Structure 1
């Protein structure tokens, strides 16, 4: 397919997303099934265009003064791909499978309109109802922060220190353009272009042998900041597919007791195979089987309870741009309630002097700062560990990392703009000793 034909295909997919109200991934899959002549490179290019339109949905429509699928694609080419009018016009000449030629009004909009005078939620490409929350945490920087959350994320990998060393894996993945992550001592990064396909990491020998896992650097850092140590009893209370469980196990060096569970047993399905591949033998996976608490035998004995809390996922908008436009206020309310419940559940598990590490992939203050304030008010035997103490586990990079993050008395916030990671909040709380 020509670049122009990919534009036409992307407009078709965006129209399907709008009219059929289906998730973008489903619309892209259905388009690929119906157009089997399109090669993998074509499908990757079309997907890149569609995801970029979703990332820049509001600003692109503003630039074009029109909210159609075609207008949003044209506006994105200017706002995200940095194309000028002549370049866009050359692609849209109506020949073959190319989009129809630009109208006079489209040319004028592309040449003259910007988001300089647009409202913050338009310039930053986020739902208007979230403007107050983002202003609360970022103030006048909210447009810049949200714009960074609308960029394409790199592919980050975590080296499993139970089986491999970063220097060696870095050498074997040079052909993919891998480099060291700036903060995590365990991370590797592969930057991806606008039309690039995700590399076949699962086919790499390092992955097959358990030496690497796909994990955003922010998620790696969240696990590191929990301070899990060899010999401790650690509980991963919202383990899901096991990303942080694997990281905790490596930190524990196979020593101690690691228990992983999740209220949704379907989320735990991949964890067993991942643990086996990673060479982890000290993890106990507890799958809910009924109304009884799967942790009923644990009574104030855990050194650490990690809560990778259910959240809105606003910090992962780079990877899930479709999700931000489908998010509703009711979903935030449900997540806040879920977070409070899991925090309170952790209390009975933590021993005196033990700690809770609360993590979200959200930047919203209601899920982060406010949630910790409410918890420590309900549970006064817990106090927040000062952020500078939490970050000291990063050794020589602690000072620079601290300068890059947002800090509050309640915890540490990473963002794509400041740390180059997904948006993650981490708060570590200790229980008073008896």
Structure 2
């Protein structure tokens, strides 16, 4: 599978699914274990190849067992026994490298397991924390939940999840964090009765905090412009207690498919406007221009802040991908600027750590609108969230940046712009 992912530049989830279909004799435990190995190897692909002196899938897997899972050479050798389904025994060179090789002297793209071409952008955002942040991005992500305030409080839900080790998240007031197992996988909470009854949603704490910093008010007209599956739509509805007009849409109608069931399950109320396909499609938001109180733009981006969850994405990233995302961000921000009323606000969110997608995109909008919009100061934005978050985030030129190292979340960026009256 590692060879297939590398050769065809395909998502790891697709390769894992195809392997499972072709090897139906493998049980769910085997498939979960294999998936964990694949994702761990992708998280540490560059550094594992460095210490093993080879970029072959076998070398990467061996190196990842040491770097990501902390196994010593004898433990790795016991796994590589050559018996039954086990891989061939370690060679003398492989054992020697496991015992002696280090990352000392490795360049940043190796030590941090990231594509070299994004390092200047990441360094501009992270400064002296570049390598520590990249290593935090190479760790496994936690399993976070957002309690649905429309159904009940966090305290009311917590007893039902205590058996899974759930505990409050460090920052989000409605968040719960569930420990993952040794294989990096959490319990199947999506089949629990409380989930099916809409008491909680699976959502990274950073995403929860981004919706919280949007600071929606009851009675407002709100538009979730890039709603996708609806995670932040649901959070906005809960934050206002369903006491507002909430419209959800997305430029890609396929991404909206899950939102209808999620709305039903959660009790959240939102009007979903699905655009029709084709170049001549009508603007489903044209009637709202100049009237919206708050527009959430959860923009399409490179996803560099989610590499803990999607480690294969960083190796599929190309310079052209960034250029495409920048064009898409400009388009959705321009659309948001037409929607918002005088005195209204645009809340711009990405799950990226790249300044070009964050402050750069905001600066571009400010220039294009010729002074019609003004950034809301970071302290005013952070006032909508907990004080612990304000102490942890990085403040940027136009917004705030969350990150695995500083906030323990995915790498979310939030900026708020107000339209001048």
Bin the TM-score by the shorter chain.
over 0.9
Deviation at 1:401, TM superposition (A): 1.5
**Range moving further from structure 2, 322-331 or 15-24:** 15-24
Secondary structure at 1:383 match in 2:
strand
Do structure 1's residue 323 and structure 2's residue 323 form an aligned pair?
A: no
Give the distance between the partners of 1:253 and 1:94, measured in 2 at CA: 59
Counterpart in 2 of 1:134? Answer: 122
Of residues 34, 37, 40, the one that matches 2:22 is 34
Counterpart in 2 of 1:359? Answer: 349
Write out per-residue CA displacement over residues 70-101 of structure 1, whole angstroms, 9 at most, x where no aligned residue.
Answer: 10011001111111111112222223322222
Runs of at least 5 residues in structure 1 that lack an aligned partner in the other structure? 1-12
Residues 152 and 194, structure 1, Cα contact 8 Å, conserved in 2? no
Q: Provide the TM-score with structure 2 as the length reference.
A: 0.96
**Range moving further from structure 2, 315-324 or 132-141:** 132-141
Write out per-residue CA displacement over residues 359-396 of structure 1, whole angstroms, 9 at most, x where no aligned residue.
Answer: 001110000011111211222121111111111112xx
Counterpart in 2 of 1:347? Answer: 337
Deviation at 1:336, TM superposition (A): 0.3
Q: Provide the TM-score with structure 1 as the length reference.
A: 0.93
Of residues 387, 409, 413, the one that matches 1:425 is 413
Counterpart in 1 of 2:251? Answer: 263
Give the distance between the partners of 2:139 and 2:399, measured in 1 at CA: 25
4+ residue segments displaced more than 4 Å: none
Give the distance between the partners of 2:6 and 2:126, measured in 1 at CA: 31
Counterpart in 2 of 1:10? Answer: none
Do structure 1's residue 392 and structure 2's residue 392 form an aligned pair?
A: no
Within 5 Å, give how 1:69-84 maps onto structure 2: 69-84=57-72
Give the distance between the partners of 2:48 and 2:333, measured in 1 at CA: 40
Residues 179 and 186, structure 2, Cα contact 8 Å, conserved in 1? no
Of residues 100, 106, 111, the one that matches 1:118 is 106
TM-aligned CA distance change 1:362 to 1:20, over 3 Å = closer
**Range moving further from structure 2, 99-108 or 208-217:** 99-108
Of residues 259, 272, 275, the one that matches 1:285 is 272
TM-aligned CA distance change 1:207 to 1:136, over 3 Å = same
Deviation at 1:26, TM superposition (A): 2.1
Give the distance between the partners of 2:86 and 2:256, measured in 1 at CA: 45
Deviation at 1:19, TM superposition (A): 4.3
Give the distance between the partners of 2:250 and 2:11, measured in 1 at CA: 26
Deviation at 1:20, TM superposition (A): 5.0
Do structure 1's residue 18 and structure 2's residue 14 form an aligned pair?
A: no
Do structure 1's residue 313 and structure 2's residue 300 form an aligned pair?
A: no
Secondary structure at 1:231 match in 2:
coil
Give the distance between the partners of 2:252 and 2:16, measured in 1 at CA: 28
RMSD: 1.4
Secondary structure at 2:355 match in 1:
coil
Secondary structure at 1:363 match in 2:
coil
**Range moving further from structure 2, 361-370 or 85-94:** 85-94
Give the distance between the partners of 1:336 and 1:194, measured in 2 at CA: 38
Give the distance between the partners of 2:312 and 2:300, measured in 1 at CA: 18
